[in-house]
Amino acid sequence: MTGYKHALNRRLRRRLALVGAITAGGLLLAACGGNDMEGMDHGSGSSASATATPTAGDNPAPGAFNDADVMFAQMMIPHHEQAVEMAKLADGRAADAEIKTLAADIEKAQGPEIETMKSWLKAWGKPESAEESMPGMDHGPGGMDDSQMSGMMADDDMKKLEAAKGAEFDRMFAEMMIEHHKGAIAMAEDEQKSGRNATAKKLAAEVVNTQSAEVEKFEKILDRL
């Protein structure tokens, strides 16, 4: 794998680790304050939720939004980016016809979703990366830099996938994508529970439905490989 791809994977893991830490704190506060995170604000003007309604018109995600919506987009963008990278590796490596089809479906679906979520964050006035939101956060060895967080693959996993071909690639791709999809499903389910923006919650529902179905397909492929 090129140095660029290694750097990309490290950046994706750092971003997910940071947002995971923020998410854990945000969801705990949400649990304490009720079903809506904006319940934290009782007139003090210090709510951790962004409840403003952006101007209509070109806004791709109209209506109010909260911190959970922002974190969902900031987490899912790098998660999707790695899935697309994995799917692209199938070209010239995969042997199984169904693996090839699923890889193409993943690339076709998740590429546009990345751009969609970027457009939300731009409309909401939020950065694409949680690292930009919390520049003072510690990313050192003592943090939550877990390469497996939310199903993300480590550099070694990606190198092994890139080096595999034929049946070996097919099995490895299916196993890795099942884990990757389960991470995305968990994040999407969190958004369904804690998010506020209707557009973001709709996409989260689509992620759960689509990727759950793909997990079942990958599991069936593994049974016959």
> pLDDT digits over 64-103, tens only?
999 999 999 999 999 999 999 999 999 999 999 999 999 9
In whole angstroms, give the CA distance from residue 135 to residue 171: 39
In a domain, 134, yes or no: no
Give the number of domains in the chain. Answer: 1
In a domain, 47, yes or no: no
Q: What angle (nearest 5°) sits at the alpha carbon of residue 165, between those of residues 159 and 167? A: 120
What per-residue confidence (pLDDT) applies to 150? 81
In whole angstroms, give the CA distance from residue 208 to residue 187: 9
Backbone conformation region of residue 57, classed left if phi is above 0, alpha if psi is from -120 to 50, else beta: left
In whole angstroms, give the CA distance from residue 102 to residue 120: 27
In tens digits, what is the pLDDT along the chain, a chain of 225 residues? 444 344 445 555 555 454 444 444 443 333 333 344 333 333 333 334 454 545 445 689 999 999 999 999 999 999 999 999 999 999 999 999 999 999 999 999 999 999 999 999 999 999 998 776 554 444 433 333 444 458 999 999 999 999 999 999 999 999 999 999 999 999 999 999 999 999 999 999 999 999 999 999 999 999 999
The secondary element (H helix, E strand) that includes residue 50 is none
In a domain, 139, yes or no: no
**What is residue 53's three-state secondary structure?**
coil
What one-character-per-residue DSSP string does 36-68 give? SGGGG-SSSS--SS------SSS-SS-S---HH
What per-residue confidence (pLDDT) applies to 130? 75
Query: Residues 98, 224: contact at Cβ < 8 Å?
Result: no
219, HSE (Cβ side, Cα atoms, 13 Å): 10
Q: Cα–Cα distances in Å, from 66 out to 28, 37, 38, 102, 140?
A: 15, 7, 7, 33, 28
In whole angstroms, give the CA distance from residue 197 to residue 151: 25
Answer whether 0.85 is exceeded by the pTM: no
What per-residue confidence (pLDDT) applies to 149? 56
In a domain, 42, yes or no: no
In a domain, 105, yes or no: yes
Query: Residues 17, 146: contact at Cβ < 8 Å?
Result: yes
**CATH assignment at residue 118:** 1.20.1260.10
Phi, psi dihedral angles at 181 (to 5 degrees): -65, -40
In a domain, 98, yes or no: yes
Query: Residues 195, 122: contact at Cβ < 8 Å?
Result: no
In a domain, 50, yes or no: no
In a domain, 145, yes or no: no
Token readout for 67 is: 């911190």
Q: Which domain holds residue 155?
A: 3-33+65-128+150-224
